[in-house]
Amino acid sequence: MGDAQAACAMTDQPWCAMEMAAPGRPLQQVWRQRLPQPGPGQVRIHVAACGVCRTDLHVVDGDLPWPGHAVVPGHEIVGHVGALGAGVAGLEVGQRVGVPWLGWTCGRCEHCLAGRENLCTGARFTGWQIAGGYAEQVLADARFVFALPTRYGDEEAAPLLCAGLIGWRAYAMAGAQAQRIGLYGFGAAAHLIAQVAVHQGREVFAFTRPGDTPAQDLARSLGAAWAGDSEQAAPKPLDAALLFAPVGALVPTALQAVRPGGTVVCAGIHMSDIPSFPYRWLWGERRIVSVANLTRQDGLDFMRVAAEIPLQVRVHRYALAQANQALDDLRAGRFAGAAVLTP
């Protein structure tokens, strides 16, 4: 067999992806006959695990604008580099890496030049505009690929790539002075950042949907000082409240829970409408801020923290072909922690 024939044979390997052809439709298993070839600056990654994130729900449920083409969701991707495109440096075939939500930025706009690439108006996102990790193979821009802490297995590392990163950015927005932190919605992101906060000596108060005792029990087991329903008043005035649940009605609730000078951080990419509320709940120099995506520096910073702190990652495993079930279970709140797909 000649070199050209051998190269062709190496790429003739069937692989599958879970794809959504139109908004609101279930994901369908689609088989492809040849491995994708990385272009300049890209890497091909053989997927070992991919987390299931609430943002994936916003994509498949149509809360985010349809990109105009079939979508392969998934942006908490862990895998091994299978091929390098031209010009890629600093990565090697076989290396374990992670791929996050932010998949490409222009590098030239005012936001990128100011170190705020998360606000790039031309940004493209993994699992939305770019085919994601609900698949056996994925292409990624090598600039947006992270090395991962070795202390975590593939399934445990996957939730670090969005739940961990967005939790970290929201936590940083609370400020170093925030010693009492409320977490509204105790899912994948909150169960990770709660451990970071406790490790750093802060008090954590976990607020869950009413009656979600498994999530409350998980919060207490991870060091939360208190856990209860989101309809309950905080036992102490909070310095900051981080909202991971995409429920706009929680914003005025959280405002009433934070002390003067406190901050409410809305950490999701989508949220239901925020109801009106009296100005006095905001007065006293309270602030409401949002988290938009992430930067590569966020990734580097959080991976260093995750390497230092032995985070307990609560994982619920699904086969890749069970992606629809995993999304439905997440939508219905049937588990505490993070869901992960494995090929």
Per-residue pLDDT tens over the stretch 74-122: 999 999 999 999 999 999 999 999 999 999 999 999 999 999 999 999 9
Cβ-Cβ contacts under 8 Å for 30 (sequence gap 6 or more):
16, 17, 18, 19
Residues 6+ apart with CB under 8 A from 56: 73, 74, 75, 127, 327, 330
Instruction: Cite the beta strand spans of the chain per DSSP E.
Output: 15-19, 28-32, 42-52, 77-84, 96-99, 102-104, 124-125, 137-141, 146-147, 180-184, 203-208, 226-229, 238-243, 258-266, 287-290, 315-319, 338-342
pLDDT of residue 10: 62
- Three-class secondary structure of residue 109 per DSSP: coil
Q: Which of 323, 334, 301 is nearest to 73 (CA)?
A: 323
More confident residue, 24 or 267: 267
Side chain identity at residue 239, one-letter code: D
Residue 1 pLDDT grade (very low, low, confident, very high; cuts 50, 70, 90):
very low
* pLDDT (tens digit per residue) in 290-323: 999 999 999 999 999 999 999 999 999 999 999 9
CA distance 313 to 131: 26
DSSP 121-177: TT-EEBTTTB--SSBSEEEEEGGG-EE--TTS-HHHHGGGGTHHHHHHHHHHHH-TT
Residue 163, CB-side half-sphere exposure with 13 Å CA sphere? 35
Q: Take residue 29 and report the two structure tokens written for it.
A: 């298993």
- pLDDT interval class at 3 (50, 70, 90): very low
Q: Which residues contact 328 (CB under 8 A, 6 or more apart)?
A: none
Task: Tell me the pLDDT band of 283, cut-offs 50, 70 and 90.
Answer: very high
| Percent above pLDDT 90 for the chain | 94
41 contacts: CB under 8 Å, gap ≥ 6: 85, 86, 87, 88, 141, 142, 143
Answer yes or no: is pLDDT of 150 > 90: yes
Distance CA 269, CA 102 (A): 12
Q: What are phi and psi of 79, to 5 degrees?
A: -170, -170
Once rounded to an integer, what is the mean pLDDT over residues 150-175? 97
Q: What pLDDT was estimated at residue 5?
A: 34
**pLDDT number for residue 4:** 36
Q: How far is CA 206 from CA 186, 191, 286, in A?
A: 7, 9, 20
Rounded Cα gap, residues 23 and 75, in angstroms: 18
At 23 the pLDDT is 84
pTM: 0.92
What is residue 116's three-state secondary structure?
coil
Look at residue 70 in the predicted model and tell me its pLDDT.
95
Which band of pLDDT confidence, cut at 50, 70 and 90, is reported for residue 334? very high
pLDDT reported for residue 2: 39
Average pLDDT over residues 204-209: 97
The tokens for 161 are 């790539």
